Amino acid sequence: MLREAAQWWEKHAEYYQQQCRIPIDILYGPGAPNEDELQLIGPVNGKHVVEIGCGGAQAAIAFAKRGAVVTGVDIAAAEIRFAHDLAQREHVHITLLQRDMADLEPIATSSQDIAFSACAFGYVDDLRSCFREVHRVLKPGGLFVWSAGHPFNYPLDLGSLVVVRSYFDRGIHVEGETPEPGDAFGSVHRTISDYFELLTGTGFVVERLLEPDSCKRYACDPWYGLWDYTPELFEKIPQTIIFKCRANAITD
C-alpha cells in the first residue's frame, strides 16, 4: 500500500468515521446504491467472506449479520480498533487482520467464497500482486465484487469541474505533501482498461461492470454533500465503478 495513504488513514481514520457516519450496510461508494438494490453478491449465509480494505468494517459486520463467516483486512491500526469496537457494539464476531491489502498470508488458499472491497484499491501501488492474493484465497469459481472511485474524476479539479490533467496520466498522485507524516494523501490513478487488464491477467473473468447513475440521490449514501461530493459533481460524472468477477484458472 502507498506509504502516504497508509499514514493518512492511520492519522485521520477517527475523523473520517465521525464525518461520514457510515451505516451498517454493504455499500459500494459515493453515488451508488447498496447491495440490497444491486444484488451483485446475493445470499451469504454460511459462506466465508473476506473484506479487503475494510476500514471501520461496516460492510463486514453487515455480512456477518447475514450469516457469513467474515474476515476484515485493513492496514491502519486506527481502523482496526474502530472496527473491533463497532463489531462488539453490534454483537457480531468478525476476524480482523491488520496488514497490507496485497498480503493476505494468514488466510488459507481456496478458503473464501466471496471477496469484497469498496473504494480501497486506489491506495494499492502493486494491484497485480493484490489481485493475485485475492485469487489465491478464493475457492475456484469464487466471487470477487469490488468498487473504486470512478477514474473519470481524476482529470478534474473537483471544485471547478475543469479538466486539469490527462486521463492517461497514470500512476501515483500525492496531494498536500508536507514533512509531517499523515498529512499527505496518496492514491494511484488507473484507467478502466487498466483495471480490466489486471483482472483478466490475474485469473478473473469479469461478469459485470457497473457505473451507477450518481444523478440519483440514494438514501444509503453517507458521502453525499461531504467535501467535494457536491450535487453538481454527482450530476455530471459517475462517482463509483463496480466490477463483479469470478476466480478462473490460475495464471503464471
Q: What 3-state DSSP class applies to 248?
A: coil
Residue 195: what residue type? Y
Tens of pLDDT along 209-250?
Answer: 999 999 999 999 999 999 889 999 999 999 999 999 999 865
Q: Is the dihedral of CA 75, 78, 79, 81 positive or negative?
A: positive
**Is-contact 154 189, C-beta < 8 A?**
yes
Q: Is the dihedral of CA 141, 142, 147, 148 positive or negative?
A: negative
Question: Would you state the pLDDT for residue 249?
Answer: 60
Question: Would you state the pLDDT for residue 251?
Answer: 47
Tens of pLDDT along 4-60?
Answer: 889 999 999 999 999 999 999 999 999 999 999 999 999 999 999 999 999 999 999
Q: What 3-state DSSP class applies to 12?
A: helix
Q: What angle do CA 165, 166, 167 make, to 5 degrees?
A: 120
Q: Please give the domain boundaries of the chain with CATH numbers for all domains.
A: 23-150+191-247 (3.40.50.150)
